[in-house]
Amino acid sequence: MMEIVCPAGTPASLRAAVKAGAHTVYCGFADETNARNFPGLNFDRQEMREGVAFAHDHGAKVLIAINTFPRAGAEALWYSAIADAERAGADAVIVADLGLLAHAARHHPGLRRHLSVQAAAANADVINFYGREFGVKRVVLPRVLSVPEIAAIKADTAVEIEVFVFGGLCVMAEGRCSLSSYATGKSPNMNGVCSPATHVEYHDDWGALSAKLGGYTIHRVGAGEPAPYPTLCKGCFTAGETTGHLFEDPVSLNAEALIPQLAKAGVTALKIEGRQRSRSYVAQVVRNFRAAVDAHAAGLPMPQGMLASLTEGQAATAGAYKKTWR
């Protein structure tokens, strides 16, 4: 059966996800070592130990994301996160940085290593390189590949494949995007944040609501229309004669319908994005995906459209998986 990997931004979410049927939960420490470094989110050391113990008691695993790029001159913070993850009993760490992987492989050889999506490993050769050099056992694929491309990768590697199936959608290769720091000074790679809320402003322009990020107006909706969060790559821009969502529409990813194809492609684990989401959201998504993989494992038809109401702005896409980009 395919493994469901669920986000947990707080200890309460972790418990909710485990109770809802998550095989695995991923979370991070409350500092800049993880790519969801939001106020009020994530785990201190004790909460992490308790969360891992709770999950293990319920037969679930915990992965700890240490997936930002250590700051020059301050790598000790990231090294201690790796050591504390091992001490807390984590089943694996999710790492993106080459130097940090080398450190973990050398100093914590018994700690299982997954390659974060932030490493944007998009072909079998580089995945095998990470496997060979650093003993990486699993790779989280960037959200820029189609299902046939994923199948082709799996055909050429023994490293396990994990793919995102639900939640936020990056259209840029992850870990290789500095749009956010260009506009706001804060980036996913360096600060663990993208298009941060601290830099968002909403303005009422003659009845229309404008959303600005870092002073750039990238959304405008009429009175009463839902205003999407101004994430840079999903903003509204003008190029040539065209004004619109030039990079991606304000949609989120929902690949639940592709579970059978992803299973056939050899995918080991399905990942749900959203450590910043509420525990009730997490529990609902987990229940539905667990039902879907259980149905698939039992040879039953896929339940359809369960999660439509949970997707951002009510619009969802299968992203690159359906090959429409190519």
Partner 1 sequence: MDLTVGPNQFFWKAEDWASFYDSLATAPVSRVVLGELVCSKRLPFFQDRIPAAIETLLAAGKEVAVTSLALITLKRERKLSAELVEAGIEVEVNDLTMLAYLPEKTPFSVGPLVNVYNEGTLGWLAARGATQVCLPPELPLDQVRSLARAGADMRVRIEVWGHGRLPLAISGRCYHARLHGRTKDNCQFACEDDPDGLEVSTLEGQKFLAMNGVQTLSDTFACVDHQVELLRDAGVSALRLSPQTGDFAAVCALYRGRLDGRVSRGGVAAALLEAYPGIRLSDGFLTGATGAEWSGARSGAKVEA
Q: Which is nearer to partner 1, 242 or 309 (CB)?
A: 242
Q: Which is nearer to partner 1, 13 or 184 (CB)?
A: 184
Please give the full DSSP string across 190-242, using - where no structure is assigned: HHS-SS-GGGEEEEEETTEEEEEETTEEEEEE-TTS------GGGS-EEETTE
Q: Which is nearer to partner 1, 72 or 298 (CB)?
A: 72
Q: How far is the CB of 182 from partner 1 (least distance, A)?
A: 4
Q: How far is the CB of 286 from partner 1 (least distance, A)?
A: 28
Q: How far is the CB of 183 from partner 1 (least distance, A)?
A: 6
Q: Which is nearer to partner 1, 304 or 324 (CB)?
A: 324
Q: Which tokens go with 309?
A: 């109401």
Q: Which is nearer to partner 1, 245 or 290 (CB)?
A: 245
Q: How far is the CB of 27 from partner 1 (least distance, A)?
A: 23
Q: Which is nearer to partner 1, 32 or 91 (CB)?
A: 32
Q: How far is the CB of 209 from partner 1 (least distance, A)?
A: 12
Q: How far is the CB of 69 from partner 1 (least distance, A)?
A: 4
Q: What is the dihedral of CA 263, 318, 253, 242, to 10 degrees?
A: 160
Give bridge partners of residue 303 from the DSSP assignment. none
Q: How far is the CB of 107 from partner 1 (least distance, A)?
A: 11
Long-range contacts (CB closer than 8 Å, 24 or more residues apart) made by 121-129: 122/173, 123/153, 124/152, 124/153, 124/155, 124/156, 124/157, 125/156, 127/153, 127/157, 127/159, 128/156, 128/157, 128/159
Q: Which tokens go with 280?
A: 């009730």
Q: How far is 215 from 37, CA to CA, in rounded Å?
A: 22
Contact 188, 118 (CB under 8 A): yes
Q: Which is nearer to partner 1, 96 or 193 (CB)?
A: 96
Q: Which residues bind partner 1 (CB under 8 A)?
A: 69-73, 75, 96-100, 102-103, 119-126, 128-129, 142, 144-145, 149, 152, 171-173, 175-179, 181-185, 187, 189-190, 210, 214, 216-220, 233, 235-240, 242-243, 246-248, 320, 324-326
Name the residue among 105, 98, 250 with its Cα closest to residue 189.
98
Name the residue among 277, 279, 258 with its Cα closest to residue 323.
258
